[in-house]
Structure 1
Amino acid sequence: MALAACGQTADGRVRLDAVFDTADGLTAGQDVRIAGATVGSVRDIRLTARRKALVSMDVDRAFAPFRADADCTIQPQSLIGEKFIQCTPGTPRAAPLRNGPGGTPTVPLARTHAPVDLDQVLAALGQPVSTRVALLVSALGGGLAGRSDDLSASIRRANPALGALNRVLGDLQADRARLHPLLTQSDRIVAALARRRSDVVAFVARSANVTSTTAARAGRLRAAVRGLPGLLAQAEPALDDLGRLAEAGSPAAAALRRAAPGAERLTRALAPFARDSRGTVLALGALSSPGRRAIRATRRVLPRLDRLTARSGPVVDLLQPLTENLRERGAMEGLMRFFLYPTRALARYDRNGHYTGAYLLPAPTCELSIEDPANCSAHFDDRPAMSPTRRAAPQPRASRPAGTGHQAPPGTAPMLTSTGSQPVTPSPAIPPGSPPAATGDVNPVTSLLDFLLGS
């Protein structure tokens, strides 16, 4: 959430609030600084419902938005000068600063600091302390009387040190929230060390030995230290790459951490699996010798298979369109139906057992003859009945003895009759030399292919 979306002033700045325990000495119009540079000013100061100082500031847009780890400190410009607010916007990785009750991003009380003025410190001193301070100041005045030049030179020399000390104190003041848990943990560490004093003594003794050994090799260490700048300069690119790798690997490390419990359970489950699979592994080891012999035996076959593969190229080229045509025409489906229909017709069963189905096809009784009478439909396919003109060539046949059956008249083809039926007079024979009549019969192989191909 950007600050500009929460409160923008007429001059293009953004609004920012901060809650302090006290804003004594702070007035509207005083500076707001970031890293020592003035980036805004104090707008107004109000009192919250909890009796805290709510300071509203106008900050340049370039320094917005402030983050959740931002902090602000009221600092004096000098011992007796005006005050200003020193702020740190926070790190980019932190979340944006939350809005306060007024809808403006607000630095909470836990992230603000208000220093104690020097006059408050002096007012807290009792009578004995003030008397001693007066004696100290009088003694210092007597000792420094007539040495103003030396005092001035000492102050000028101490000015950089005092500035550095001031910055150190400011950093400590800004990190007060972090130093407090550090001191607390230090107390716990010291208490734990006190309970293990003997171990600490042993550690100190070993450290003394290490120190003496290090002192004996001071020359080598000095040479190593002199070579460190060059080593660090050469290692800087690698360290940069390592830093980028660490940043890129952070999501992977987080994912591995989430997957660690599952991996642990998997590792525990692998132990019984390994025990149970030991027999299988041993059996595979026993089969490895026959397997090697089989592989060696196949080496003689592989060249032949290679030559066969090279020679079967034209056959494959011919088979490819055939297989594609069979697939498009549904040959496999037709073949499956060819086996399915007889199977469904024969493999029937009910609650009593298996049975075989039969179909009765009623048809007029006709002679089983080499000719097809006009009124006979004794056929088992879908072709039309044969016409009376479709006759076979006459076949000579010896006459039967009397009483053994009907004899065909001379010049006619013999005829087979069914049991109990009357003889049928055949048609005249086809004259010799006449062209054979068209039979119209369907090839059974062609019918089967048409059935399989769905024709």
Structure 2
Amino acid sequence: MTVARGAALGALLLVVAIVVIVLLGGGGGEQYRLVFQTAGQLVRGNDVQIGGRRIGSVDDISLTDDNQAAVEITVEEPYAPLHEGTTATIRLSSLSSVANRYISLTPGPNSAPELKPGATLDTASTTSVVDIDQLFNTLDERTREGLVNVIQGSATQYEGKTREVQEAAKYLSPALSSTSKLMLELTRDQRNLEAAIVSGARVVSAVGEKRNELSALIGSLNVMMGAIASENQGLAETLDELPGTLREANTTFVDLRSALDDLNPLVDASKPATKDLARFFGEFRPLVDEAVPTFTDLSAFVNTPGPDNDATDLVRMLPELQRVGSPAFENSVKAMRQGQPVVDFFRPYTPELVGWLRSFGQSTANYDANGHYARALANFGAFTYSQGADGSEVLNPVSPDQRFLNQRADATRRCPGGASQARPDGSNPWLAPGGDCAPSDTLTGP
């Protein structure tokens, strides 16, 4: 072998070694312990993420002495080590599987001290997930029934009126925008509005200051009208009532003057809001023009000629709708009450069902050239075994209509968690309150 060939072979071996180290060597990392009030259905292998990127995984989940969840995680480099101030939150991307739970980390500042390997973040730095069951369990049965009735009633209310609701919503945004412009303009032309209000106040004040002269004038008019009344009895009777009326009017004017004095603070407070009132009214005109079609459509919606085609007819039909719909609502509520025991019995077994869906989904999700990996169909009792006279072993086919004879579907009465090996801490199987199961019906083996 020449020197050149030896050098080439050595370089090739070096490249292969580097590739093996990169692919199989791993990136290293640090382990930490997170304490949550509840693990929120986390399982081993769930992701640990920062900003939506996977940076580690859940290694183990256990219970602390005070019945809190202790979660062991590994954070890979270059995100490890973490710093003080780091917080952790259990999140879920959907409700379809426990595999969709993950831990989201919010790292502390790089200027903070580093956390030592194996450090613990207590519940002051962690946040557990809130499941939908926990939310609805906070409501009593009467509240849940009322919520169901509200949702069903809303669906009935808008049934067949989709187009009208869409038309009303289409004009809502322009109306709000125009109203915003209106309120903006109220704060502009302050000077003109202030002058108008002040001038009006001065006029009323001047009238109040001349009340004595006005009273004398009215008295003179009374004398004059008395002379005229001698000519007309009917006019005399009318004029007899006039002094009392004028006296009451004089009192009103006096009270008006004090009212205008009390109005001055309001005028002063209105000055900033009326700065650009003139400009506002100028720009308000387009809003009025644009609102005409809206009010036209609203009028047609409320009162369209013809039977059963407008909001007025809809309101008239509501009593009949209530008469027809009430029995249906009562039957629905009764059905939900009768179904509550079934839901209460089924709920403890939810982790088993979700776990099966997760495992089955993982085995069927990937595929090769022949299709998905799972291409098997369970076939029970397709053959019977017998031994021939010559000692040979024979499989005898069984017809499909005979395959399920002597088979039972109630062979086990396992409690929640009884489908897997019992854990040393005794967390499974679990006898749910009121559950109808056998805690002793468990899998054999360690």
- TM-score scaled by length of structure 2: 0.30
Q: Which has the higher contact order (CA 8 A, sep 6+)?
A: 2
**Higher alpha-carbon Rg:** 1
The two structures have a TM-score, normalised by structure 1, of 0.29
